[in-house]
């Protein structure tokens, strides 16, 4: 099993090494390591946790015209090359299918402990200092404004509305990132999220203070 994990990690490292939106190999690597850490505390099938973490962004809908099925399909194609049993493949596909944030007003429950662990790890990488950096990398890559005080955040009530949004990067904090602390699944995830949430609050306070000062210069 460890050889399979190593081989898949090497494939993903090659495929995602030059990605520049914050969904690169190092994001996958961090989610993988954080997932293993959470699993040590919370339990679950570690092999499925590792596969789910490594493959959770193999084909994110954000980069494939909103297609929610391409990620599970690509994961299945890769996993079959390693003769992994069908039940395990289905569990990994379910994690990939369920993991994404789909809007402030949309529930995203995970149907397995392994899925809850990977979702927490993925969301932890979306907040805190690294989360801030990734958010601006993604916003810049998508051509979104950094901040526009005339455009207010939207609490999207459907996945379609969330998919089609193009607000500023600062708005994204309110539409998603600041909500994640209270949506962690595991006790370990909740503890880790607290400190990272405070980092974002401090950043936003500094951002607005600097913005206000520059209004009068």
Distance CA 59, CA 69 (A): 9
Q: Count structural domains, the chain.
A: 1
Q: How far apart, in whole angstroms, are the C-alpha atoms of residue 117 and residue 14?
A: 25
* CATH number of the domain where residue 145 is located: 1.10.3210.50
- Is residue 64's pLDDT more than 60? no
Range of the domain at 176: 2-215
Instruction: Give per-residue pLDDT as tens, 116-158.
Output: 999 999 999 999 999 999 999 999 988 999 999 999 999 988 8
pLDDT tens track for 176-189: 999 999 999 999 99
User: CA 136 to CA 172: how far, in whole Å?
Assistant: 10
Residue 216 has pLDDT above 70, yes or no: no
Q: How many Cβ atoms sit within 10 Å of the Cβ of residue 88?
A: 14
Nearest to 125 by CA among 113, 117, 134, 112: 134
Q: For position 65, what pLDDT does the model report? A: 59
Task: Please state, in angstroms and rounded to a whole number, the distance separating the CA atoms of residues 217 and 200.
Answer: 26
pTM of the model: 0.92
Please tell me the predicted confidence (pLDDT) of residue 67.
59
pLDDT interval class at 61 (50, 70, 90): low
Average pLDDT over every residue of 98-114: 92
The dihedral built from the CA positions of residue 8, 2, 43 and 112, taken in this order, carries a sign that is positive
């Amino acid at each position: 099993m460890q050889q399979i994990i190593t081989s898949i990690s090497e494939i993903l490292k090659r495929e995602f090494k030059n990605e520049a939106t914050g969904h690169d190999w190092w994001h996958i690597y961090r989610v993988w390591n954080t997932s293993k850490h959470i699993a040590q505390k919370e339990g679950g099938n570690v092999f499925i946790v590792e596969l789910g973490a490594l493959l959770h962004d193999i084909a994110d809908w954000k980069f494939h015209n909103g297609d929610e099925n391409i990620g599970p399909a690509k994961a299945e194609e890769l996993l079959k090359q390693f003769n992994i049993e069908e039940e395990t493949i289905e569990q990994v596909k379910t994690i990939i299918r369920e993991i994404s944030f789909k809007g402030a007003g949309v529930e995203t429950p995970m149907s397995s402990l392994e899925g809850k662990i990977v979702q927490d790890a993925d969301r932890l990488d979306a907040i805190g200092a690294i989360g801030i950096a990734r958010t601006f990398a993604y916003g810049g890559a998508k051509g979104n404004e950094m901040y526009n005080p005339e455009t207010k955040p939207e609490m999207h009530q459907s996945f379609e509305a969330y998919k089609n949004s193009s607000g500023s990067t600062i708005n994204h904090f309110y539409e998603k990132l600041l909500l994640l602390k209270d949506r962690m699944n595991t006790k370990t995830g909740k503890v880790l999220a607290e400190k990272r949430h405070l980092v974002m609050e401090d950043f936003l306070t500094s951002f607005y203070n600097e913005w206000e000062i520059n209004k009068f210069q």
